[in-house]
Amino acid sequence: MTQRTQFDLELEKLKKTVIEMGDKVIENIRLGLSSFLTMNIELAEQVVLRDKEVNRYEQIIEKDCLRIILKEQPVAKDLRLITSILKMITDLERIGDHAADISKMTIYLEKTKKIFQSDQVRKMTEICQVMIADALDSFIQKDRIKAQQVIESDDLVDALFEETKKIVVDGLRKGNVDAEYSIYYMMVAKYLERIGDHAVNLGEWVIFSLTGEHKNNLIF
């Protein structure tokens, strides 16, 4: 086995680990929102614990990236790839944090009885999950077009967030929403909006790994 072949195998293993981390994050988002909407404390606590696994993935991938850089001293395209991975796992870790934050909202509101729900927040969750999955897929497939589509999808998340704010305010005026619950509900919506932003970052780093451009600026 040549040195280059071994290097390529290490890079493929690294990418596979990033995908595994991303899958964990997507599942945590789904479970986190489910725990909040159903006030399932046990599930919420599980999601908070699961976030530690996401953090471990970040540490493992960071170490592997640095080891490869020191050992192989990659240049140009390979260095762009490794740099992108280091940036992407930071965003994935923060997405994982937000999924845990959503679950913590459930724990804080354990005694709340007047639960309020809206289709907008559910749709935000669904879109965010698809955005992350598509960003990771574009990374593996080296698909710049799909990565750009991820970036553009954030407009839908932002629009749903604005709709959620209006619905909650209207619910408060009509007395259909518990005041304390509404605060936490909007925090959940805000976490989802931030998750969408981090998904955009993933798409941008995929494009960087392919072109050397980040936000239309050529870096290397």
For the chain (length 220 residues), average pLDDT per consecutive 10? Answer: 77 95 97 91 96 97 94 86 97 97 88 74 96 97 98 98 95 86 92 98 97 82
Total Cβ atoms within 10 A of residue 206: 28
Tokens of 32: 């986190």
Tell me which CATH homologous superfamily contains domain 3-218.
Answer: Phosphate transport system protein phou homolog 2; domain 2 (1.20.58.220)
Which residues are within 8 A (CB) of 26 and not within 5 positions of it... i.e. 6 or more apart?
129, 132, 133
pLDDT of 176: 82
pTM (two decimals)? 0.93
Q: In angstroms, rounded to a whole number, what is the distance separating the alpha carbons of residues 105 and 137? A: 31
DSSP letter, residue 175: T
Nearest to 195 by CA among 158, 147, 149, 152: 158
DSSP summary character for residue 115: -
Tell me the Cα Rg of the chain.
19
Residue 177: what pLDDT? 82
Per-domain boundaries in the chain: 3-218
Q: Is the dihedral of CA 92, 97, 99, 100 positive or negative?
A: positive
Give dist(CA 207, CA 214) in Å, integer: 7
pLDDT at 202: 98
pLDDT of residue 128: 97
Residue 16 confidence (pLDDT): 96
Q: How many helices (H) and strands (E) does the chain have?
A: 6, 2
Q: What was the pLDDT predicted at 113?
A: 57
Chain centroid to Cα 40, Å, comes to 22
Angle of helix 41-72 relative to helix 3-38, nearest 10 degrees?
A: 160
Q: Which residue do the tokens 């991975």 mark? A: 85
- What local confidence, expressed as pLDDT, does residue 157 receive? 98
Beta bridge partners of 218: 213
* H/E element, 116: none
Beta-carbon count within 10 A of 63 CB: 10
Burial of 202 (C-beta count, 10 Å sphere; 0-12/13-18/19+) = buried
Integer Cα distance of 83 and 74 in angstroms: 11
140 Rama sector, left if φ>0, alpha if ψ -120 to 50, beta otherwise: alpha
